[in-house]
Amino acid sequence: MWGGRFSDKPSDIMQAINVSISFDKRMAEQDVRGSKAHANMLAVQGIIADTDNAAIQVGLDDVLGEIKDDTFPYRDGFEDIHLNIEARLTELIGETAGRLHTARSRNDQVATDFRLWVRDRLDGFDGALADLQRALLGQAGKTADMLMPGFTHLQVAQPVTFGHHMLAYVEMFARDRARFADCKSRLNESPLGAAALAGTPYPIDREMTSDALGFSRPMANSLDAVSARDFALEALSCTSICATHLSRLAEEMVLWTSTQFGFVTLSDKFTTGSSIMPQKRNPDAAELVRAKTGCITGALVSLTMVMKGLPLAYSKDMQEDKKPVFDAFDALALAIAAMTGMSADMNPNANSMAKAAGAAYSTATDLADWLVRELGLPFRQAHHATGEIVALAEDRGKALHELSLEAMQKVLPQINEGVFDVLSPKNSVASRTSFGGTAPDNVRAQIKVWQERLGG
Tell me the C-alpha distance between 78 and 97, whole Å.
15
DSSP class of 9: P
281-325 pLDDT, tens per residue? 889 999 999 999 999 999 999 999 999 999 998 898 888 899 999
Tell me the C-alpha distance between 53 and 123, whole Å.
31
Residue 408 φ then ψ, to 5°: -70, -30
Q: Is the pTM of this model over 0.75?
A: yes
256-261 contact pairs (CB < 8 A, 24+): 257/281, 257/283, 257/286, 261/352, 261/356
Burial string for 168-205 (b: 16+ CB within 10 Å, else e) reads ebbebbbebbebbeebbeebbbbbbbbbebebbeeebb
39-85 pLDDT, tens per residue? 999 999 999 999 999 999 999 999 999 999 999 999 988 989 999 99
Tell me the C-alpha distance between 29 and 33, whole Å.
6
Q: Is 82 a catalytic residue?
A: no
Q: Is 153 a catalytic residue?
A: yes
Query: Helices 322-345 and 230-256 meet at what angle, rounded to 10?
Result: 30
328-376 pLDDT, tens per residue? 999 999 999 999 999 999 999 999 999 999 887 888 999 999 999 999 9
Q: Taking Cα atoms as reference points, which of 101, 56, 94 lies closest to residue 204?
A: 101
Q: Which of 153, 210, 275, 384 is catalytic?
A: 153
Tell me the C-alpha distance between 91 and 161, whole Å.
65
217-218 and 264-265 strand pairing: unpaired
Give, rounded to a whole angstrom, the gap between the first and last alpha carbons of the chain.
54
> What is the maximum alpha-carbon separation in the chain?
100
CB-side neighbour CA atoms (13 Å) of 71 = 6
CB 371 within 8 A of CB 385: yes
139-165 pLDDT, tens per residue? 999 999 999 999 999 998 899 999 999
Q: Which of 11, 267, 274, 404 is catalytic?
A: 274
Nearest 5 degrees, angle CA 292-CA 297-CA 299? 100
183-223 pLDDT, tens per residue? 999 999 999 999 999 999 999 999 999 999 999 999 999 99
217-218 and 189-190 strand pairing: parallel
Residue 161 φ then ψ, to 5°: -110, 155
